[in-house]
Each structure stands twice: as C-alpha cells, then as structure tokens.
Structure 1
Amino acid sequence: MKIQRTSYLSLGTNQGNKLENLQNAVDLIADKVGSIPKISSVYKTASWGFESDDFYNICLKVTTHHPPEKLMQILLNIEKDLGRKRKASSGYADRNIDIDILLFDDEIIFSKTLIVPHSKMLERKFVLIPLVEIATTTIHPIEKKQLSICLQNCTDSSEIIKIDAQLIRPIPIAEKYNYIAIEGNIGAGKTSLAKMVSDEFNAKIILERFAENPFLPKFYEDKERFAFPLEMSFLADRYQQLSDDLAQLDLFKNFIVSDYYIFKSLIFAQITLQKDEYLLYRKMFNMMYKEITKPDLYVYLYQNTERLLQNIKKRGRSYEQNIEAGYLQKIHDGYKNFISTQQNLNILVIDVSEIDFVDNKEDYKYIINQIKKA
C-alpha cells in the first residue's frame, strides 16, 4: 500500500481560453498525480511583475504517493503537454499554464530543483486568497502560523476578483465507489488488476482463497468425483469472506476491491455439476446471494482463449496445465449469460486481449480511465 501525502498547488494562466487551460491542467493532475479533494474558486488578478493580460488563478489540494521531486517533474511534464514553452531567461512572462508546488505536507525542502514551501507564496495575494479558501487552518511550516493569519499579514495590495466560473473536480475512484468487484476467466488477470488498484488507491483488498482449497487439485484430476465438494467449499468460503469483509462498508465506508464476486460460484457450478447436484447447489446459493452486498461496479476482464492459455502456462500452477480451451469457453459463456441478464448491476466489460496492464503503465491507465468513466 502506497503512502499518500498532501500537497497544495497553485495554477495560473493568462493566455488563450483561460478556464479551459485550468480545467485541462486539473484533469491531467487528477490523472497523473493523484486525487483532488478540493479546488478553490477562480480568481482574476492583474499580471504580476510585467504588463500583460489578466491572470486566472486557482489552488488545489491533492493527495499523491509521489515524492516531492517526482511530483515536480510530473507537473513540469503536464505544463509541457499543455503547450507551455519555458524561456531561458528568468523573470515574469505570459504563460498558458503555470503550476507551482506551494506546500508538501509540513516538509521544508531546499534543493537545486525545488523549494518548499514556495519562497514567494506569502507575498502574493493571488496565491494566498485561493489557498486560504481551501486550507484556512493549515500551518505554514516555516512561519508556524495558520495560512489565514499569513493572509492577514500579507502586504500585497493587488486587487483580486473572484469570478463566477467554476471548475469541475474530477471524482477519484475511491470516492466514486465503495466496492468494486473484478472478474474474468481463469488467467484473465483479475487478481493482478485488483492488487494494482488496491495498491494505488489504498483500498482494502479481498482475494479469493483458491490456494487454500484442498479439493481444487483433486478436481482437475477427477472432475466428476470432486466437482460437488469443490463448488460447495468455494461457495461457503466466498460467502464467509465477503460477508465478513464487506460488513466494514457499513462501519467505516472503506473502499474495497475484490478479485471475485460470489455469482461466479453459480457460473462454475453450472459447468461442473450434474443436474441434480446443481439444483441442490442452486437452493443453497440463492439463500446466500440475497445476503451479500452488491458491488458498486462489476468489472469483467475479457481475454480470448489463446491468451488465457498462454497466461495459465506462464504462471505455472501444475493443476491448471491440463485445462482445455473448451472448458475456458464454457466459463466465458457462463459469464456472458450472467452479464446479459443482470439489470440491477453496474457492469463494465473491458477487452484486455491485446493489452498488458501489468507491465505497461499506459495500458493500466487505460483500464483505470474506463473505471472512472463507468
């Protein structure tokens, strides 16, 4: 689990469509830096230190796992992506976007590339006014005073005007959802994705305890004999695990991500059990299913059969090596039927057959963006 730190940023622009510049910067910061709990109002002020068009300025509160120097580099790259061209000469100039780190937790940093707290922040009302709006009681690490007091002591006489326009705050995954279930066929990568999401967003993770099931290796050796005890043991364990862990949603409102949803029990049971066994199993399942908390988002990772077989071979579990393509297709058909009949479940299907979200950051970001938009 990555440690999340709080930073305050100042954004300014005086070229082109200024509101659009700020919104684009906010969206990229949310995508590349971390979540944005607070955005200040937009303030208009005259240019500082040179004659030019008025600036629009805002401040953001962000939470990020990036260290300060890495954060600074990401922000410089965002400026570049948005078209800013920095001049070799020092001094004030027009800019379509400017992003500064004002504070990083309560740290004091003096390095060749970064000074925190920002050395000029207490001298500029266009920084302090939007900052105080979202961080009134925050303590300046050097002054040892609340920012609201620092604003009162500021000698800047510039006129700062709040405008009516309001920027859109990107809603982070951990705020949008309480519970996400990630599903997929054998070898689709559901556990890997669940771990990655949990790590990035500090979510509680629920992983299926398949390795602890003594019937699983036996099932792959003799499916007819061990199908019923296997499916019953999985159902009991999934029900207990989800009941215990999802109860915390009511107590603490945690963000939870799991690599399975209990309905998979029925999907696999349909494939492996005889008709009379399945009817008995279905009665047990129906009693348990109505008691389980439904996910806010159900993500199904689709991979084609050829890729699934490659993944199964690569991870090397001995009892899985004889799994046949036909068995995987039956599982997928079961999921497909389930997805098509669920009217009250928020479902997102993502085809991951041609991407590698484990080793490719852009592919992982693609999936995260799909989840954000769902």
Structure 2
Amino acid sequence: MTEVPFIAIEGPIGIGKTSLAKRLSDHFNFYLLKEIVEENPFLGKFYDDIDEWSFQTEMFFLCNRFKQLEDIETKYLSQRKPVVADYHISKNMIFAKRTLQADKFEKYEKIYHILTADMPVPNMMIYLHASLDTILNRIQMRGREIEQNIKASYLAQLAEDYEAYMNEFEVMHPDIPVIRINGDEMDFVQYEDDLTKIIEQVQKQLKSFEIVSK
C-alpha cells in the first residue's frame, strides 16, 4: 500500500511556513494543519521575559500540538487523506532546549517523549531558512503585535538552532526527503515563479506516493 503523504514545513519564526503550507494545500488539495500560535495566552509575556514564562509557553504549545496530531491521525492520515502542516512537533525541543532552565527542561523532555512516542511522523520535510535581515523584515511585514518585542539575538540563535536540527534530522532520517528553500533567494509570496519552483520540487517527491496534483 502506498504511504499517505504527510508534509511538514519548518524554519525560524516569520520565515513563511504558514503561507507556503496554505499554497501547497490549495495546489495539491491536501488537508492544511496550522499550528496554534497567537492563541497561546503566555506568548506575549514570553517575548517580554523568556526566563519567567518559557515553561508555561512551551507546555501550552506541546499539549496543543499533541492534540492536533492526534486528530489528524484519526481523521485524515488513517483515512488515507494527505496532510500538509506548517510545523513539525519536534520543533518543541528546539525551543525548549534554548529557553528552559536545566531542571525544567528535564521535566519537559520526559513529558515530550511520553506524548510523542506514537505520534504520526512526516514523510517529507520542507525547510525554510534565511538570513537574520530577511527574517526580521518578514516579521515586520506581517505585523503581529506579540512578535514586535522579539530580540534579534534570540532570532539569530534560533536560526542557528534550526540549522543544526535540520542537519541532524537528515542524518537520523535518511529515508525522509528534505527540501531546503533559501528565503534570501526565493520569495514565494511575492513571486509566482518561485512558488512554481517549490511546487515542482514537492511534486517530484510526491511521485513516490503516487499522488497527482489537481
């Protein structure tokens, strides 16, 4: 039986994950799974004081992402309906390692592994990356109020963490294709040709799933 496509899009804050997920969802007629962000009641406080609010923020994200993945497993993937998500739940560990103090991270890590032990794993990854200037410009352009206090140093470190994570991911999961998109060179929101190039790369990988776009 052919594997059901489950595409996850990852990258730093503001890089365009949701925008790309929406466009791929529309093109391929896949279910769109969007992460819960602004609904997190601790996020604004977190950006103001990371040390004080990191545990509450990360636990909220973890529990909500667990529930979302549980739902798509039941309602979509098990019914052989393809899914494209604007996140991969393992991103939680990227943020938690960076923001949590050692004692709280130890507790968080145990909970994370319990919750994600039998969660569905994406079988294709799209990794969006860009320079700090591009990330800052895109955050400013989308104008989310809660993101205006994010420190540039935090975003720079996060971009480095993502790069290290994706390099490790490719080593640990050589069977899962990773499509890397350089946001400094491609702007799929502004330029249709850039979006077409990405769609072509995804289509090439989807041939193994025997899925044809509408």
Give 1:248 deviation, angstroms: 2.9
Aligned to 1:353: 184
Aligned to 2:195: 364
Aligned to 1:37: none
In terms of Rg, which structure is larger?
A: 1
Give 1:275 deviation, angstroms: 1.1
CA contact (8 A) 1:177 1:297 kept: no
CA contact (8 A) 1:206 1:258 kept: yes
Report which structure shows greater RCO (CA 8 Å, sep ≥6): 2
Alignment of 1:183-194 (within 5 A): 183-194=10-21
200 and 176 in structure 1: CA distance in 2 versus 1, 3 angstrom threshold: farther
Give 1:357 deviation, angstroms: 0.5
Aligned to 2:132: 305
Q: Say yes or no: does 1:182 pair with 2:9.
A: yes
Q: TM-score, normalised by structure 2?
A: 0.88
Aligned to 2:27: 200
Distance (Å, rounded) in 2 between the aligned partners of 1:316 and 1:249: 33
Give 1:347 deviation, angstroms: 2.0
1:312-363, CA deviations, whole angstroms, 9 ceiling, x for partnerless residues?
Answer: 1111112211222221122122222222222224322211212220121101
Give 1:234 deviation, angstroms: 0.4
Aligned to 1:283: 110
Query: More deviation in 341-350 or 263-272?
Result: 341-350
Q: Give structure 1 regions of 4+ aligned residues with deviation exceeding 6 angstroms.
A: none
Distance (Å, rounded) in 2 between the aligned partners of 1:371 and 1:285: 30
Q: In the alignment, which of 53, 56, 64 is matched to residue 237 of structure 1?
A: 64
Which structure shows the higher strand fraction?
A: 1
Aligned-residue identity in percent: 38
Q: Say yes or no: does 1:316 pair with 2:171.
A: no
Aligned to 2:74: 247
Distance (Å, rounded) in 1 between the aligned partners of 2:101 and 2:177: 31
Give 1:250 deviation, angstroms: 4.4
Unaligned runs of 5+ in 2: 206-214
Distance (Å, rounded) in 2 between the aligned partners of 1:348 and 1:257: 14
Question: RMSD of the alignment, in Å?
Answer: 1.6
1:39-64, CA deviations, whole angstroms, 9 ceiling, x for partnerless residues?
Answer: xxxxxxxxxxxxxxxxxxxxxxxxxx
303 and 364 in structure 1: CA distance in 2 versus 1, 3 angstrom threshold: same
Aligned to 1:31: none
Give 1:176 deviation, angstroms: 7.9
Distance (Å, rounded) in 1 between the aligned partners of 2:75 and 2:122: 14
Distance (Å, rounded) in 2 between the aligned partners of 1:324 and 1:349: 25
Alignment-mate amino acid for residue 134 of structure 2:
R
Tell me the matched-pair count.
200
Alignment-mate amino acid for residue 111 of structure 2:
M
Unaligned runs of 5+ in 1: 1-174
CA contact (8 A) 2:4 2:77 kept: no
1:68-93, CA deviations, whole angstroms, 9 ceiling, x for partnerless residues?
Answer: xxxxxxxxxxxxxxxxxxxxxxxxxx
CA contact (8 A) 1:178 1:249 kept: no
Distance (Å, rounded) in 1 between the aligned partners of 2:16 and 2:148: 17
Give 1:178 deviation, angstroms: 1.5
Which structure shows the higher helix fraction?
A: 2
Distance (Å, rounded) in 2 between the aligned partners of 1:250 and 1:196: 20
